[in-house]
Amino acid sequence: MRSSAPLLASLTLLLLGSPQALLGCEQPAARPNIVWIIVDDMSANFACYGEPLIETPHVDRLAREGTRFAHAFVTAPVCSPCRSALITGCYQTTIGAHHHRSGRGAEKIHLPAGVEPIPAIFKRLGYYTCIGGPVGDSKKGLGKTDYNFEWDPAIYDGHDWAGRAPGQPFFMQVQLHGGKYRGNDNNPKWTEQVVAELGSATRPEDVELPPYYPRDPVLLNDWAQYLDTVRYTDKQVGDVLARLEREGILDSTVVIFMTDHGISHARGKQFLYDEGLHVPLVMRGPGIERGKEREDLVEHIDLAATSLGLAGAPVPPWMQERNLLAADYQPREAVFAARDRCDETVEHLRSVRTSQFKYIRNYLHLRPHLQPNQYKDSKQIVRRLRELHAAGELSELPERLLFAPTRAPEELYDLAADPHELKNLAGDPAYHATLAEMRARLAKWEMTTNDQGREPEPAAMYDSDMEVYLGGRARRNRDSELVRNIELMKQWARQGK
């Protein structure tokens, strides 16, 4: 059994009050219902965020009738570390939940003493706590959790707020499939469903790709299907709003919409470029300013404190987030993110982003950007990129950014001049002072938040989790791609690579 290391004193136990103290907090006469809508694998490709090719009327309505955050970022660009951070209000690196799908085997991860998921706090506050899928979903089980630590399912009362007592406020998480609807391959059945339900499909020839992806038919069709997942997600958001309206509770409910990280692509999901970290964040309801656009930098873990504040509850001192609506709110000067092991693939990336600059530290810089990874390599878009690379058919930009055999130890981008993060300025003498400042910012964050990724994952934990992967994905084939990748990770570690 493994417990994550203690939090630093500045963050934790010496400052901790008993969670039970929340029971005695003074509450407003009418506490709002709180609904989080959390979407898989989707960047901020909504009309209210400037996406020109599609219409997203329901998310746009939330923005029009509430507050839109222009610069919201996740602290981890992959599902389980991001969701572990979101549900605790703590950096995943602080609570030991930073490796994707970790603690799933014989070796377990436990939260530091005193830290708990916020549904447990809401439950003590008298809220009905629930987590489920889309409105009308025939599945009646709990919605996606994907936490990397041990937790008690009793923190959730059910999958839907319909089970609450009369007049009882509820905290609901609506989990949507988002970008995963398009699957790993160009999926004609998905396009047929889109046409049937939305009336039309996005045309691949109209798609504008980021400049580091070739205008290849496979990639264009995939991006068009992705944009249709955005449209479909918007429809599902509309279904939630319509139900709240039918029940007469929309105006007593705070609706918060966001995604768990950016689009699943070769420079998006799992990576620390804005394609993987920048997400939509929109809030509507009582206590939320209407028609407001906020430009400050925010992190997704801020939802925990913000939601507790809306419920009239104090924020536990162990949380590392900020209440975005507090009267004494102080905007962040920078946001931070981390990527560690994803599935079998060992990685150690850290970043800090200000309003103008992004700094990325590649700790394992002798490895390529697109390391072997069974999940990523099963996607048709990645297979196609590898085919074009092998055939020498990529232009200089994607070849350099996606397929260089090694990476620079440090990357620095001027986001104002270079929003796609194409030109690494780390070696430019004109940016020496900026590089030093950003490097120091990141080092301070790693130290003060007790970044547990500073040490390699214990071999016992890695092997424990890999047994789960091998059991589920390579049941009878011990000479599979997954096995070869695991052995390569261990070989590179022995070589100091």
Q: Report the 10 Å Cβ neighbour count for 18.
A: 9
Distance CA 258, CA 281 (A): 5
Taking the C-alpha atoms of residue 233 and residue 299, their distance in angstroms, rounded to an integer, is: 22
The alpha carbons of the chain give a radius of gyration, in whole angstroms, of 22
Return d(Cα 142, Cα 149) in angstroms, integer.
17
pLDDT in tens, the chain (497 residues): 344 444 443 343 333 333 333 433 333 448 999 999 999 999 999 999 999 999 999 999 999 999 999 999 999 999 999 999 999 999 999 999 999 999 999 999 999 999 999 999 999 999 999 999 999 886 778 999 999 999 999 999 999 999 999 999 999 999 999 999 998 888 889 999 999 999 999 999 999 999 999 999 999 999 999 999 999 999 999 999 999 999 999 999 999 999 999 999 999 999 999 999 999 999 999 999 999 999 999 999 999 999 999 999 999 999 998 999 999 999 999 999 999 999 999 999 999 999 999 999 999 999 999 999 999 999 999 999 999 999 999 999 999 999 999 999 999 999 999 999 999 999 999 999 999 999 999 999 999 999 999 999 999 999 999 999 998 555 556 668 999 999 999 999 999 99
Alpha-helical regions (H) of 147-204:
188-198
Which H helix or E strand runs over 218? helix 217-246
At residue 241's C-alpha, the angle toward residues 237 and 246, to 5°, is 145
Position 247, amino acid: E
Separation CA 122–CA 118 (nearest Å) = 6
Joined tokens for residue 56? 């997203």
Please tell me whether residue 348 adopts helix, strand or coil conformation: coil
In the 8-state DSSP scheme, what is residue 379?
S
pLDDT at residue 139 in the model: 73
Residue 18: CA count within 13 A, CB half-sphere: 6
Cα separation, 352 vs 361, whole angstroms:
9
Nearest to 398 by CA among 380, 386, 408, 406: 386
User: What element of type H or E holds 76?
Assistant: none
| Fold of the domain built from segment(s) 13-328 | Alkaline Phosphatase, subunit A (3.40.720)
pTM: predicted TM-score of the whole model, two decimal places:
0.93
Domain ranges across the chain: 13-328, 339-494
Tokens 């919201």 found at: 72
DSSP 266-285: TTSTTSSSHHHHEEEEEEES
- C-alpha 198/C-alpha 224 separation (Å) is 14
